[in-house]
C-alpha cells in the first residue's frame, strides 16, 4: 500500500470515529486518540486544541454528543508525501441530525499534517476551515 493510500485510510478512519461519537462517545474518544501523535494539535477556527485528548473529547461531547447521527463525506483529496512527513487536503461535508431534531450540514476543508511513526502514519495536526 502506498503512503498516500495509508494516509487517506487514516483520515477516513478519523472521520468514521467522529461519526461514531454520536452513539458511542467513549469508544470514539479512545479510537480517535490512537490516530494522533501525542503532541498533535488542531485548529477548527473557532476553537484550538493542543493535545489529542482535548480534540477527541470535543468531538465526542460538543460535536457528536449533541447529535443523533452524523456522516462525514470527504472529497477531492490531495496528499503530498515528503519522506516521513506529509500534508493532506480534503473537502468535507458533514450531515447530522441534532438531538433536538434539527438537521445540519457543514461544508469546509481539512488541511492536515501527518508524520510516519514506528506504528505507521499518524496525524500531527488537523486544520479545518468552515465555509458553510
Q: Which residue has the cell 493510500?
A: 5
Residue ranges of the chain with pLDDT lower than 70? none
> What DSSP line would sit under 38-65, residue for residue?
EEEEEE-SS-EESSHHHHHHHIIIIIGG
Q: What is the pLDDT of residue 85?
A: 99
Q: What is the pLDDT of residue 19?
A: 94
Cβ–Cβ under 8 Å, residues 92 and 110: yes
pLDDT at 20: 93
C-alpha dist (Å) from residue 91 to 46, 65, 78, 107, 130: 18, 23, 10, 8, 10
Domains defined along the chain, listed by start: 3-130 (3.10.450.50)
| Distance, first Cα to last Cα, the chain | 35
Q: What is the pLDDT of residue 39?
A: 98
Query: What pLDDT was estimated at residue 93?
Result: 98
Confidence at residue 66, expressed as pLDDT on a 0 to 100 scale? 85
Amino acid at each position: 500500500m502506498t503512503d498516500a493510500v495509508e494516509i487517506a485510510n487514516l483520515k477516513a478512519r478519523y472521520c468514521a470515529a467522529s461519526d461514531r461519537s454520536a452513539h458511542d462517545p467513549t469508544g470514539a474518544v479512545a479510537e480517535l486518540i490512537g490516530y494522533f501523535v501525542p503532541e498533535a494539535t488542531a485548529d477548527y477556527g473557532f476553537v484550538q486544541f493542543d493535545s489529542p485528548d482535548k480534540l477527541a473529547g470535543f468531538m465526542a461531547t460538543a460535536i457528536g454528543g449533541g447529535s443523533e447521527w452524523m456522516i462525514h463525506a470527504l472529497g477531492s483529496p490531495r496528499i503530498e508525501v515528503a519522506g516521513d512527513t506529509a500534508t493532506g487536503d480534503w473537502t468535507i461535508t458533514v450531515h447530522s441530525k441534532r438531538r433536538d431534531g434539527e438537521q445540519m450540514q457543514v461544508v469546509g476543508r481539512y488541511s492536515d499534517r501527518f508524520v510516519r511513526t514506528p506504528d505507521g502514519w499518524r496525524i500531527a495536526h488537523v486544520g479545518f476551515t468552515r465555509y458553510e
